[in-house]
A and B are shown apart, each in its own frame.
Chain A
Amino acid sequence: MPKTLFDKVWERHIVVPETEVHPATFYIDLHLIHEVTSPQAFTVLRERDLKVRRPDLTLATIDHSTPTKINPDGSRPYVTAQAETQVETLLANTEEYGIETHGWDSDNRGIVHVMGPELGATQPGMTIVCGDSHTSTHGAFGAIAFGIGTTQVGHVLANQSILMRKPKTMAINVNGELQVGVTPKDVILAIIAKIGIGGGTGYALEYRGNVFEQMSMDGRMTVCNMSIEAGARCGMITPDETTFSYLKDRKFTPSNYDAACADWASLATDEGAVFDKEVNIRAEDIRPMVTYGTHPGMGMAIDALIPAATDATDESALNYMQLKGGDKIAGTPVDKVFIGSCTNSRMEDLRAAAAIFKGRKVASNITVIVVPGSVLVKARAEDEGLDKIFIEAGAEWREAGCSMCLGMNGDIGAPGDLVVSTSNRNFMGRQGPGVRTVLASPETAAATAVSGVITDPRKMESAA
């Protein structure tokens, strides 16, 4: 029987098959951990006198609670003592249990979903979990990758396995030619707007079609990253030459690389495989997207009119955003711009933003922070001189971390601020109490930063 990519990877990892009575015992190839969702799991290990079964399949970093500034004396300005304790706790736990950790001194420290691929730890056909819902990012490599809670972080530390039932599968087919100026972020925002914030609940997604085949790994990661914003725990893309060449010569790249590539190539969905659901989108219909409401499903084309509220939930969202149905969203004044997060903090994102900032200045009403996804991204961007472009334009160039995506480290907006953000969630108060978030691509964020109002990047001439 023809199988999907998901089916093939799923079957390779069944320790005990599911029955009506119990879920499957499902083996995990790579467990990524960070400071926020792991401390209580290590406590459980201690309480029950358990060891970490496979420290060699576990990788740690610090990203959520870490400051993105450094004090003049070299110390780090933690938002609270508790945040510092949390970071120290992760470092102490991983030291005690012998887990490879990319802490302050590592060139690979960074947002956990930027770090894994950079190290080549993320590979096709793997199962990858992390106590973070944006673990779906790693699906860009043809891995089954999804977020888990802290209880399951404990399960994986102790058993390298979790209990789970097989989800249904959904194909998201995007075929055709993308218009000039339409980015991977716009593609995924358009997908979520179409299927809805809960449309993927219970499903594993596979993004299919020539649009994804032609997309770079950075772009594929942006797409898979936001699968969870449609309710799907994971989203995958078939591994191909683009994937294989990305993975060549990285730290964890298998030594039998050619054989590995041949195996990875066999994972592609078979001709005639049946998905539980299919969604078709014409690439030509996608325009640069922004959100106008309080969840990522409330997305619209940047040159369209804000949809009118159809129920109380919509109305409350528009009230919170201080936006009116029927108005244009382009031209709305903005207070802050955030370029970063596991969605859009990789080299391509920074290059795209820099191409717009080059030779221009940030509008006087706006503050901009640019936060690279990892220490490595930061170094590469500086090698290319991107940091100078941002700084000369009037943006702040920060240290790597999750930063303002969720504001755990104190990088937040002021109440009432409108923030155009390249991150993944525009939930009420996520970027600070009363802060209004508009999600957008790096291009749109940069165009907005220099114009002072929400701006269609297609209206800017790239100076590059």
Chain B
Amino acid sequence: MTFAPLKTVTSRTLVLSLENIDTDQIMPAKFLSMTTKAGLGEHVFANLRYDKEGELTDHELNSEAGKACEILVAGHNFGCGSSREHAPWGLTDYGFRVVISSEIADIFRGNSLKNGLLPIVIDKRAHQWLLDNPGADVTVDLESCEVRLPRNGGTYNFDVDAFSRHCLMEGVDEMGYLQNQDDAISKFENKRL
């Protein structure tokens, strides 16, 4: 098991409303030189969290309340750009388990699902509500594929690939599944020879 199973998450939201937050913003390149995954949470969104002198800013991400948030709400097209898996590693090490936007880039979405971070694309109205209500207490239920907003926010469904959902809910990764296909892969290889 590489991450804790994810079934429901109830948390305050942390909102970063800018659109097109790319993986360079999530994890700047100077933090990609490491050969392990440890401690990347310290560097996630480094340009927002540290000033030119390297001192912590007063950004919400540096507050105790911010650090307790497990749900990140971001502007349209989150995670575009580089394929660096250091981005979801940083987000999960920081403490996020869910990221919600109106669009999430393909490679980042795939990388997130492999690291126990649930990427949710939600309809524009719910997304706007979340952007307008930072710090709302939101429940994400992976069993029913629902996002439940507090007060008069309503309940919204989201789509997640059945296989990825299974892996997240059980806390299993795909390596074992692929290993079990060894025979099929060998057969495929032999056929092409």
Contacts and interface: CB of A to CB of B under 8 A. Distances in A.
A201 B178 contact: no
Contacts of A62: none
Interface stretch (A151-159, A169-177, A351-359): A151-159
Given A161-B185, A165-B161, A133 B83 contact: yes
Given A20-B162, A313-B75, A427-B24, A155 B83 contact: no
A27 interface: yes
B63 interface: no
Contact of B84 (A37, A154, A162, A165): A37
A15 B80 contact: no
Nearest to A196: B77
A131 to B, nearest CB: 6
A96 B70 CA distance: 40
B112 to A, nearest CB: 9
A433 B52 contact: yes
A428 B47 contact: yes
A311 B20 CA distance: 13
Interface stretch (B31-39, B122-130, B137-145): B31-39
B32 to A, nearest CB: 5
Interface string A71-95: 0000000001011011001000000
Interface stretch (B5-13, B99-107, B146-154): B99-107
B19 A231 contact: no
Contacts of B111: 149, 151
B43 interface: no
Contacts, number: 171
B4 interface: no
A461 to B, nearest CB: 37
B81 A163 contact: no
Given A27-B188, A198-B76, A427-B24, A148 B181 contact: no
B22 interface: yes
Given A25-B185, A155-B175, A163-B177, A150 B35 contact: no
Contacts of A149: 83-85, 88, 107, 110-111, 114
Contacts of A427: 22, 24-25, 81
A448 interface: no
Q: Chain B contact residues (Cβ within 8 angstroms of A): what range?
A: 35 or more
A408 B105 contact: no
B188 A197 contact: no
B188 A15 contact: yes
A44 interface: yes
Contact of B115 (A15, A151, A202): A151
A233 interface: yes
A355 B83 CA distance: 35
Contact of B85 (A37, A64, A233, A425): A37
Contacts of B77: 197-198, 201, 231
A198 B28 CA distance: 21
A372 B22 CA distance: 27
A83 B33 contact: yes
Contacts of A340: none
B44 to A, nearest CB: 14
A158 B184 contact: no
A150 B30 CA distance: 17
Contacts of A163: 163, 174, 177-178
B52 A415 contact: yes
A131 B161 CA distance: 23
Interface in A401-425: 406-408, 415, 425
A226 B179 CA distance: 33
B47 A155 contact: no
Interface string A234-274: 00000000000000000000000000000000000000000
A64 B86 CA distance: 15
Interface residues of A, number: 70
A48 interface: yes
B105 A198 contact: yes
Q: Kindly name the residue among B35, B105, B173, B179 whose own CB sees the greatest number of chain A CB atoms within 10 A.
A: B35
B56 interface: no
A115 interface: no
A146 B37 CA distance: 23
A429 B24 contact: yes
B175 A147 contact: no
A326 B69 CA distance: 41
B181 A15 contact: yes
A166 to B, nearest CB: 12
Contact of B181 (A16, A44, A80, A131): A16
A198 to B, nearest CB: 4
A158 B178 contact: yes
Contacts of A433: 47, 52
B116 to A, nearest CB: 11
Given A155-B174, A158-B175, A159-B179, A313 B110 contact: no
A295 interface: yes
Given A159-B185, A231-B77, A43 B22 contact: no
B83 A131 contact: yes
29 contacts: A15-B185, A16-B181, A36-B32, A37-B83, A53-B185, A85-B35, A131-B85, A133-B82, A133-B107, A148-B83, A151-B173, A154-B175, A158-B178, A159-B185, A163-B163, A163-B174, A198-B20, A198-B80, A198-B103, A201-B105, A228-B81, A231-B106, A297-B20, A311-B19, A313-B20, A407-B30, A427-B22, A427-B25, A429-B47
Given A50-B179, A198-B80, 14 more contacts: A22-B162, A27-B185, A36-B84, A40-B35, A40-B36, A89-B35, A154-B175, A198-B77, A198-B103, A233-B107, A295-B22, A313-B75, A428-B24, A429-B24
Interface of A: 15-16, 20-23, 25, 27, 36-37, 39-40, 43-44, 48, 50, 53, 64-65, 80, 82-83, 85-86, 89, 131-133, 146-152, 154-155, 158-163, 165, 167, 197-198, 201-202, 228-229, 231, 233, 294-295, 297, 311-313, 316, 406-408, 415, 425, 427-430, 433
